[in-house]
Structure formats: C-alpha cells, structure tokens
Structure 1
Amino acid sequence: MRIAHFSDLHYGAETLEEADRCFGAAIDRAIAEDVEAAVISGDATDHGLDLHEPATRRLCAQVRRLADHCPVLMLQGTFSHEPPGTLAVFALLGARHPVHVADRIEQVALTAGGEWLPSAGWRFEAVPPGARALLTCVPTINKAVVAATVGAAEAAQAIGEHLALLLRGFAPTNRLARARGVPTIAVSHGTVFGSMSEHGVPMAGFDHEFTTGVLFSAETQAVMLGHIHRHQCWEQDSGAGRQCIAYAGSIGRFHYGEPGDKGFLLWEVAPEDAVCALIPTPARRTIDIVFEGRPDLEALREAAASHGIEGAHVRVRWTVADEDRHAVDRAAIARLLAGAAQTKLEGRIVPIVCARAPGISQLASLADKVRRWAELAAVDPACVLECLDALAERAPTEIAEHVLSGSAVTNEPALLDPEGQGEVPALEVECV
C-alpha cells in the first residue's frame, strides 16, 4: 500500500499561515501520488481551538479535502496541543471516505471497501476478513494517570515497562496478518530514546516512552511516529521482514534554528517490507544571526547580503552588559533587514553583579567576618566586636539594664527634663 504520513500540523492562531500552506501543498502532492490511505500521527492542532476560529475552519477543510481522496486516520497527540475530544469533530466531516479518530489503544483494519474497522478491545484476536491493512494505534499516554497510580517517582519507568509489554502483545496478531499477506503498520505519538530534537539535541532520559527495540517488538513493517519535529528513521532486517521506524517531522518550520527539510512521508508498505521517503513542503526559511556583544551593523549588512534575506524570517540575537543596553540601535537593525518577511530582535542583558564582601563566606568565625567587613568598609571594628562579645556573654535583659542604667552616657550635651526637675542623661545606642 502507498500511504501518506503527516504529523505535527500545529494549526493555531499564530501558526496558521505556515501550517496551512505546508499542509495544503502536502495534500496536493499526496493526491498526485494517488495514495491509498493517509495517517496523521498527532498534534494536528497547536492548542485547544474554538469552532469559530479560522484555524479550525482551515484544518477541517484540508482534512475534508484529503478524505475526499482516501481514508484518513487521525491519532490523539500531546494533550497540551490536542486536549481530549479535540479530534472528535473530524469523524463527522462526511467526506467521500471515512475519517477514523484513534484516541485509545486499539487495532484498526482498513477493509477492501475503504472502511475503518476498529477492534472492540485493545487488539484483534484474528485478522478481520477482507482487511487490506492492519494498523496498531498507541496514542499519547496520560502520564498523570500513571503517576497517580504508581507514584510520580515510578511513573516514567512504569510507562516504559507497560508499553514494552503492550507492543509485544500486538505481535501475534501482526504475525497472522503478515502470513495472510496483509501489510502491518504501527502509529504512535511519543519520544524514542536517542532520537534527535528539531534543534539537534539527543533525547536521552528516563522519561521517554519508547526504544527502537520496543517498537520493533510489535512486529509491524512500518512504525509511523509523531511528536518530534525532525525527520529521522531506523531500519532493521529481522524474522518479521524489513522493518522501518520513522518520524515524519513537523509539516512546517515553526521555530527558528530548525535545520533540514520539512515535509511528509510517502510510505510503500508490503507484508514483508516497508520503505519511506520524505517529500518536502514549502516551509518558511529562517536565518539566525548571533552576536556575542553589541550588534555590528557592518557585519549584519554582510550577513544579510550573503544569506539573502528576501522573504526569510530573520532572528538577530546579542548579549550586552546592562550599561550598554541602550547603545543597541534597534531601528538601524530593522532598516538593514527591511526585506525580510519577519524580523525578531532578541537582546540578552547581563546584569551588573557587585560583590559586597568577597571572600567573607569562607571565614570560620563571626568575629573574623566582622573584621573583614570593617576592612572593606574602612571602619573601626572595635565597637561592633564589643557589642558582639556582649551578645555572646550576657542575657538580653542584662544588656538592656546596663544601657538604661546610664552606663552608655556619652559626652553629648545633657538634655533638660521636660518636667523641670533637672537634667536627664542623653542615651545613645552606638552599635545595633
């Protein structure tokens, strides 16, 4: 079967132009390639959308156009992007072919009549008669539910262990399908340990859902993944035939600093083999220009000329000290980049940090710290040290009585008693 695999469309108010242009071009190409089915492996929306929003209308129109050509399967993605229930409306579009929303763990058969037949439970016990393809669907796992059951500290390990058991549990049905000449496909949304993010960062940690070995253990020929915005794939030859795992990546370029092409995957899936190819979409072009200090306008002019900023989305970054923050001429930078489709200026300000008493924290005693402070402040520490000794040796009541008794009388002029009964001493607390 020839299957079009789309992922991470991220339709939203801010991403609508990029998402709709790229997804529309991808659908045009998929129809031209005469694909027999289409899979959207999660994150069709960037956030929860209201029905009256332009992004909702455009996404529904594009999915309807795709479903007029072939059956479409949509998988539940990340809950923060696709709140539960978001995809339900797409099953009601009424296109020429059905749209199936996979929001639970299940297997779905694509019948010879072009209908989707979901399993009653988590898998089929036998391959449905007339099946043209068998799809194993594992949508986003709700980690909060797992954490509430086993505890937050154990949640990551529990998810990995249960997904490994689950995927191995699908293998018997997939073997039956392969024996009957039915192509087998797994569709999921999550992170593979060791995969690369769209910014080239290896995804290494204990909270990632899958390993390639776990995904291969389901014994499907193709594994169509979503969530990571960078296209990448893994292949192996095994007793299950030629197997391939692949991320389609995001349909467009939604962030600065994402290298490589954006697009969708065109799959050829057979009972014993699976191959895929990335078909690029007209994603926007982004340029990053970074300065360690104040932006150099001449260097910026040269960079703009060498990269060709016409129609590109340009981000300029710089790092300056707090006292130089107003020396950056943002207006001049904007004028130099006037031909860009969008200009984003990001300045990082390094605050001035003054050490009030460097080295004081390394001294052992409080008295030594007072002497160090007095040395830096150019004052006589004797008075403060006397007060410190008094606090260490005397009770608070004794110190107060000593002060009130007149022992702290200074050489200041005496004050007259307001009642006319003579003079009263002028008291002064010298050190507090």
Structure 2
Amino acid sequence: MSILIAHASDLHYASNTLEEVDRCFSFAVNSAIERKAAAMIITGDATDHALEAHCPAYDALAANIRRMADHCPVLLLQGTYSHEPPGTLDVFRYLGGRYPIHVADRIEQVALTTDGEWVASYNTRFDVLPDNTMLLCTCVPTVNKAVVASSVGAENASGAVGEELSKLLAGFGPINRRARAAGIPTVGLSHGTVYGCLTEHGVPMAGFDHEFTTGVLFSADASAFMLGHIHKHQTWSRSDHVIAYPGSIGCLHYGEQGEKGFLMWEVGADGAQFTLVPTPARRTEDVEFPGLPDMAVLRAMVESQSMEGRWIRVRWQCPEEDRHQVCRAEIASLFAGAAGLKMEGRTIPVLRTRASGIARAPTLEAQVAVWAQTVEAAVGPLIDTLHQLQNNSAESIVVNILDAAADHARPTASGDGNREIAA
C-alpha cells in the first residue's frame, strides 16, 4: 500500500510577500488537487511573522488551506517561533472543510485513518496504532532552544538539543518498524537544520548548533522524512529511507539558487520517492561589476531584451572617493520597466596607516617626521612645507605659487629659447 502526499514548506505569507507566495501556493494547491493527493503536509513557516486575522495575507493563506481541506486531509507543523509565534496556527483547527486540518505543535505521532480522520497520540508516541491507520506521521515541530537553555545553560543548549533529539527519534524506531511490517506507510516531519545542508544562497550549514544529522533522522526508521526551514530543495537517501526539503514555495530574496516548488511524495511501507513540482516563482538576475557600474552595458541590456516581469539586482564596488560618480537615479530610470530593482554598491574605504608613537612626539615637526618615516616619504620637503604654512598667510602662499608658475612659463632671452617658441 502506498499513499500520495503533497508536501510544501516555508510559505512565508506576509503583506510584503503576498503577491509572490500566494501565486506560488495557489499553483501548488491547484496542482496537488489535479494530481489527486491523498493528503497535504506543510512543514512549518506558513507565515513570515505574526499576522493579524484581518490582514489580506492571513485571509489568502486561510482560503488556500480551506481549498485543500475540501479535497483531502491537511496537516500543519509548527515552524520557527519568530515566523509562526505560538498560537498562530490554532485557528486552522476550526477552519472547517470536507476533511480535517490537524495542527502539530507538540512532539507527537498522528495517524491518518481510512475514514480521512487525523488521530493524535496521547503521549509522544502510540503504544498501539489506531484502527484503520493508512499513514503514520511522526511529528517533531520546532524545538524551543530557550527552554533547553534555561534547563542546562546557554553554553550547553546546542549539544543538549542534539542529544535529546537523537534519543527521541531513535525511540520512534520500534513503532515505525511495526507499522511498516504491517504494510502502513510511515513519514517523519520536522522543521530544523540538517548538518551540512545548503542555504538558498549555497552556503553550507556546518556547526554544532544544528538540530539534526542525517543519521539521526534515518534512526526514526520512517520511509520518508519531510523537512522544512531551509529554502533550498535538497535530499538524502539510504536504502529504503529518503529525507528531503522541498525548499520555499516562492523566491523571497535576490540570489536564491535552485528551482522553487513543492514535492509530490509516493510513500509506501517499504520505501518512498518524490517528484519536485516547480511553482511559477519569480526569477531574479544579478548584474555585477568589479568596479563602477558601466552604464553602456546596462543600456545595452535594457535595449536588447524586455524587462517586464524581471527582478534585477545591480551590484558594484568602488573606492570611497569615487562613489559620487554613481548615478542611482539614472540606473533606476533605465530599469523602470522591471518588476523590481535593487542597487547594492560596496564602498571600499580609504585605508589610513597609523603611525606608531606619533602622539608622543613633542612638536608638530617631530610628528610629521614620524609619519613620513611610517609611509616612507622624504622628511625635508614636508618640513619646509610645514614652515611655509606656519609662517605665511594663505594669500601669500598662493601668490608665491602663481609667481613661480609664471616665471617658469616666461620665455628666456637665449637663442635656444627663441627657437623653441618659434617652433
């Protein structure tokens, strides 16, 4: 027996993301319905931050969840607390629909029955599976590290979380093995970071403060382990076990790598497989210059192709003294037809060498000498110039410079000089 599950994550509904994420999630709901998904699972971060119930983003999210619940049972997993403050998902329990919506905001197991009902374990796991179970879900929502830190101390919190999760997931192994032996598909659900995974910008997540390793997740002995939190789609497999992030449903930042979409899983008792279904996420493009932005290149780009629907980021770097040469208004005017434009200029600061001991020099002449030694400059001309500044007014210095320049330009009385002018 196998079951078809639509798996999405990291929707991040908010006022400023609404257009992108609602277009992509609406597509995912439509596609999941067309593909006849038997259940939909969302592994956290349905919202981007706390939302008021009357805001358009919350209404749009609820409408799509309800549409899905009219087609099949839906399970929502608690995500990161900064994105989904505790209680954010509670209202979805009462949303109604042809099929139930279950909110997993604690460590538990949830069984989906052949009657289309979700049945949650009283404790963290079932001792005996409910009758007519057709899918067994092991739910490990976001771990509150602050609670762990208050118990074991901040310096030990990261290690303690990893150790406890390792024991917890291994403890789910026996019940999952019994379910698989009975021909029941099993899945694990969590929201967190796997050691060594990649962010949407291609940065490896390597450190001791991440919740999981692939070995710990495999120890739960579920056919599929569905994850959320990381916005880049990626997967790991071992024998008949598969772990996967679907990635975020849409593109929320410039420079994100990889396809955006959701996963259609086919999960059986003896293994699992999935297909990534791309969503119509926006495409971002970077135009980078090693120095100042080349306006000719930008003009040629705009003239050679349509900017409609494109999200452009122009990046450059320049010395501090040249930053005034960048006309941001002109760049904005060029890309007025683009859907979005972001300008990122990196200013390279002027590095000034510190002269050690300069503050201890007793006179200004001595300070100039120390500085000249540091930068390997000739001391004599600097001291002469300093004396001129100290003993003459600015006007007289200017007059002397102009007189010297005029004397240098005046022709000499020699024949060579006359021939030079004639030439």
Structure 1 residue 22, shift from structure 2 partner: 0.1
Contact 1:182 1:271 in 2 (8 A): yes
Contact 1:127 1:176 in 2 (8 A): no
The yes-or-no answer on 1:293 pairing with 2:295 is: no
- Equivalent residue number for residue 368 of structure 2: 377
Task: Describe how 1:258-277 pairs up with structure 2 within 5 A.
Answer: 258-277=256-275
Q: Secondary structure at the match of 1:314?
A: strand
Structure 1 residue 374, shift from structure 2 partner: 5.1
The amino acid of 2:175's aligned partner reads T
Structure 1 residue 333, shift from structure 2 partner: 1.1
Counterpart-to-counterpart distance in 1, 2:304 and 2:276:
28
- CA-to-aligned-CA distance 1:342-388 (integer Å, 9 cap, x gap): 11112223333433x42449xxxx9xx53798533359xxxxxxxxx
Structure 1 residue 302, shift from structure 2 partner: 3.8
Counterpart-to-counterpart distance in 2, 1:223 and 1:154:
27
Q: Secondary structure at the match of 1:86?
A: coil
Pick aligned residue for 1:172 from 170, 174, 180:
174
The amino acid of 1:126's aligned partner reads V
Counterpart-to-counterpart distance in 1, 2:151 and 2:290:
48
- Equivalent residue number for residue 193 of structure 1: 195
- CA-to-aligned-CA distance 1:403-432 (integer Å, 9 cap, x gap): xxxxxxxxxxxxxxxxxxxxxxxxxxxxxx
Pick aligned residue for 1:49 from 42, 48, 51:
51
Cα separation, partners in 2 of 1:173 and 1:21, compared to 1, 3 Å: same
- Equivalent residue number for residue 225 of structure 1: 227
Counterpart-to-counterpart distance in 2, 1:307 and 1:197:
31
- Equivalent residue number for residue 112 of structure 1: 114
- Equivalent residue number for residue 123 of structure 1: 125
The amino acid of 1:343's aligned partner reads L
Task: Describe how 1:356-375 pairs up with structure 2 within 5 A.
Answer: 357-360=354-357, 369-370=360-361, 375=366
Cα separation, partners in 2 of 1:374 and 1:142, compared to 1, 3 Å: farther
Q: Extract unaligned runs of 5+ from structure 1.
A: 380-432
Q: Secondary structure at the match of 2:33?
A: helix
TM-score of the aligned structures, taking structure 2 as reference length: 0.84
Contact 1:222 1:243 in 2 (8 A): yes
Q: How many residues are paired up?
A: 368
- Equivalent residue number for residue 76 of structure 2: 74
Structure 1 residue 317, shift from structure 2 partner: 1.6
Cα separation, partners in 2 of 1:298 and 1:372, compared to 1, 3 Å: farther
Cα separation, partners in 2 of 1:197 and 1:92, compared to 1, 3 Å: same
Counterpart-to-counterpart distance in 2, 1:330 and 1:145:
47
Q: Percent of aligned pairs with the same residue?
A: 58
Pick aligned residue for 1:312 from 310, 313, 320:
310
Contact 1:360 1:372 in 2 (8 A): no
The yes-or-no answer on 1:345 pairing with 2:343 is: yes
- Equivalent residue number for residue 400 of structure 1: none
Contact 2:361 2:367 in 1 (8 A): no
Cα separation, partners in 2 of 1:299 and 1:372, compared to 1, 3 Å: farther
- Equivalent residue number for residue 86 of structure 2: 84
Q: Extract unaligned runs of 5+ from structure 2.
A: 371-423
Structure 1 residue 150, shift from structure 2 partner: 0.4
Structure 1 residue 321, shift from structure 2 partner: 2.5
Counterpart-to-counterpart distance in 2, 1:176 and 1:235:
21
TM-score of the aligned structures, taking structure 1 as reference length: 0.82
The amino acid of 1:141's aligned partner reads V
Structure 1 residue 129, shift from structure 2 partner: 1.3
